[in-house]
Chain A
Amino acid sequence: MITHYGYCDGSGEYYIVIDSDKCTGCGKCVQKCPQSALKLETEFIDLEDKTVAAISEEHRKKIRYTCDSCNPESNFTPCILACEAKAISCVWNTQ
């Protein structure tokens, strides 16, 4: 399951995209995130509860500002680089 954390508003669109089918729940991205925006969460997939990485609730509605300093347009953020499973990507388009 691919989850788009973030939003689009009048200024552009900002999403951190996490693929929970690929995510192993290792937590390396959580350790690397300089803003502490990532955490491990229980997700309900195929009638099972699986532990996967997620953007924490408090950061979802301000992700443009939370993630800005990691330069998400580049797609080389600490979380993306930390993920061996290649489960994380960014969609960052400022209008």
Chain B
Amino acid sequence: MSQPKEAEFWRWQEYHRIMPDKKWNNKDIITAGVDVGSVGSKAAIMVNGEAYSWGIIRTGSNSPESAKKALDYALEGTGLKVSDLKYIVGTGYGRVNVPMANKAITEIACHAKGANYIWGSSVRTVLDVGGQDIKAIRIDETGRVVSFLMNDKCAAGTGRGMEVFADLLQIPIEQIGEISLKVEKEPEPVSCTCVAFAKTEAMGLLRKGWTKEKVLAAYTRAMAVRMANLINRVGLEKELVITGGQSKNIGIVRRIETILGVKTLTMPNWREEGSLDPMVAGALGAASLARALYEKAQKG
């Protein structure tokens, strides 16, 4: 008898999208950004600096292969080939391992540019919550980085930390935000946010009679406090946006807004056709910088 497959609550959906009503021809400047993150690999294609298509997959153990897979996924169904791409920028944790890239640029610059592209010139502060790190970035109206910090020493509050929690509480990762908001009163944040000790912490609280919702609320609250501290360190300036995988966690987003007393700019509804996804902000920013670099090279 075969064992029933264990549910994988941490697993988020890989997908790809082509923007409707967008066409390309050979005269267009077609560029790509490949963002190899620690947990997810994202590739985005831009036609004349406008988002055209993208693909998101889980990063495997081999970065160059993940980069190639993500790019192929973004190109799927577009009729484009890698050779049609005028310039490719690699970014993210694994950026030096993007073999087809013309240039590697830090994810800081790419996220700044990507947030500027998705939300427009009013964005001044970007919080990027990735799989293994958290970045707070202050930018100007052109998407240039003014000040930033990156916390990659600790996984607490990162996407990976949330995946561990989703698995522990047996709640699908994509519902974790909603469920964390289903508490009548916000509990005190957990004192120990360490991912390695998450199990001990969560089990202790569950044994005390806390509901899953309450445990999740307390953990999410603690994460949001950490993130708010990072934002305050680079200096909060309106408008604020959140990018990276955790931008889809409504529990994190709402709590940061409460703590800082500012609203974030409305998230594009990424599930809808024709909508941008904040998770690909880095890849879009990379593709946008790729276009600028290509044009600069053409001018000589």
Contact = CB atoms under 8 A, between A and B. Distances in A.
Contacts of A91: 233
B115 interface: no
A13 to B, nearest CB: 7
* Chain A interface extent, by class: 10 to 19
A8 B147 contact: no
A64 to B, nearest CB: 10
Contacts of B147: 1-4
B106 interface: yes
A47 B230 contact: no
Interface string B213-246: 0000000000000100110011000000000000
Contacts of B230: 8
B154 A1 contact: no
A8 B152 contact: no
A15 interface: yes
Say whether chain A's binding surface is mostly helix, strand, loop, or mixed: strand
Contact of B293 (A1, A6, A47): A47
B87 interface: no
Contacts of B229: 8, 13
Given A8-B230, A15-B233, A91-B233, A47 B296 contact: yes
B106 A44 contact: yes
Main secondary structure of the interface of B (DSSP, over half): mixed
A13 B233 CA distance: 10
A1 B146 contact: yes
A4 B152 contact: no
Contacts of A46: 144
B129 interface: no
A2 B235 CA distance: 12
A61 interface: yes
B146 A7 contact: no
Given A2-B148, A4-B148, A47-B292, A9 B109 contact: no
Which one of B145, B146, B226, B292 has the greatest number of beta carbons of chain A within 10 Å? B145
B205 interface: no
A7 B148 contact: no
Contact of A7 (B144, B154, B296): B154
Interface of A: 1-4, 6-9, 13, 15, 43-44, 46-47, 61, 91
Given A2-B148, A2-B234, A7-B151, 8 more contacts: A1-B145, A1-B148, A4-B150, A8-B151, A8-B233, A15-B233, A46-B144, A47-B296
